[in-house]
Amino acid sequence: MINLISVINKIKYQNLTLSVAESCTGGKIASSIVSHEGVSEFFLGGVVSYSVDSKIRILNIGKEKIEKCGAVSSEIAKEMSIGVKNKFESDISVAVTGNVGSKSGDGKSAVGKVFIAINFNDKIDTWEFNFNSDRKTNIESAVSNVFSLLNNIL
């Protein structure tokens, strides 16, 4: 992944730290990062908050907010990015929540709908994607987009 190598170099050059909160990607972002040497200099860690309960207990997202917005929403991606940034005290945090398929896990969100949030420089940007492939490809697309978005922001 060319974007990932670029992201790693930019984070190291700017002397920043990174944390991730993953739901639908199940740790694939963190795994992709740690497959490269030297990332312990900046990668503080990640949380796989796959269940609603883990979003509440680990990332301190209000149950009412999840009930109101749905676990697959830009609002919850934003809250996840805040929760993981606070937990690890990182400069940058990334959060991903979505429904990668093959059926709707929450009964509300469309299959392929994914939200990515990046929290950096006191600003949180969120993006919505609608992937139209199988589960594995949708996860890969989400991960690839995280690194592209990070690369563009940095």
**Contact present, 67 and 105 (Cβ < 8 Å):** no
Of 73, 107, 129, whose CA–CA distance to 81 is shortest? 73
Q: What does the pLDDT look like over 121-138, one tens digit per residue? A: 989 999 999 999 999 999
Q: What does the pLDDT look like over 76-104, one tens digit per residue? A: 999 999 999 999 999 999 999 999 987 65
Tokens of 96: 């991903």
Q: What does the pLDDT look like over 22-44, one tens digit per residue? A: 999 999 999 999 999 999 999 99
Place 106 in a pLDDT band, splitting at 50, 70 and 90: low
**Contact present, 47 and 21 (Cβ < 8 Å):** yes
Of 3, 7, 20, 44, whose CA–CA distance to 93 is shortest? 20
**Which residue would you say has higher pLDDT here, 87 or 105?**
87
Q: What does the pLDDT look like over 48-76, one tens digit per residue? A: 999 999 999 999 999 999 999 999 999 99
What is the Cα–Cα distance from 10 to 3, expressed in whole angstroms? 10
Tokens of 87: 């937990």
Q: What is the pTM of this model?
A: 0.95
Whether the predicted pLDDT of 143 surpasses 80: yes
Block residue for tokens 């730290």: 17
Tokens of 19: 């944390």
What is the Cα–Cα distance from 53 to 154, expressed in whole angstroms? 32
